[in-house]
């Protein structure tokens, strides 16, 4: 399960992602990322899955952070990484249509074998 949806802000998410990228030797994967583009559709789908009024009761006060792929590209470029995006595809997982995965690869000029 992704923790990036529970991060409080994009600034905090960037700090965490940069730490992950700095620690990596080649690649980093961030999975199950809530997509900004489908935010409203995700909420509607979640509300339909629960009995009337239960969504508000269950999730009151909880917030999820949603991401645009451009944000991940910008962070990757600043840190010397490329990023590829993949469609979320977990059998039986109801949020597949609203999530994506990002795989960061360190650019050759940003690696050292010494």
pLDDT over 70 for what percent of the chain? 91
Burial 50-87, CB ≥16 within 10 A → b, else e: eeeeebeeeeeeeeebbbeeebbeebbeebebebeeee
Lowest mean pLDDT among 32-41, 44-53, 76-85, 90-99: 44-53
Q: Report the pLDDT value the prediction gives residue 75, as an integer from 0 to 100.
A: 98
78-99: pLDDT as tens digits: 999 999 999 998 898 888 889 9
The residue with greater pLDDT, 21 or 36, is 21
Q: 17 with 75: CB under 8 angstroms?
A: yes
All structural domains of the chain = 4-110 (3.40.50.150)
Q: 0.95 exceeded by the pTM? A: no
Question: Is 37's pLDDT higher than 70?
Answer: yes
**Using an 8 Å Cβ cutoff, are 31 and 22 in contact?**
no
């Amino acid at each position: 399960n992704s923790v990036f949806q529970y991060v409080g802000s994009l600034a905090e998410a960037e700090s965490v992602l940069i730490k992950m990228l700095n620690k990596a030797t080649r690649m980093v994967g961030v999975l199950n990322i809530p997509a900004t583009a489908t935010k409203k559709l995700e909420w509607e789908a979640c509300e339909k899955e629960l009995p009337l009024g239960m969504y508000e009761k269950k999730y009151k006060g909880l917030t999820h952070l949603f991401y645009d792929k451009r944000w991940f590209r910008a962070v990757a470029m600043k840190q010397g990484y490329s990023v590829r995006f993949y469609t979320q595809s977990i059998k039986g997982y109801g949020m597949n249509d609203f999530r994506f995965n990002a795989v960061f690869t360190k650019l050759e000029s940003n690696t050292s074998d010494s």
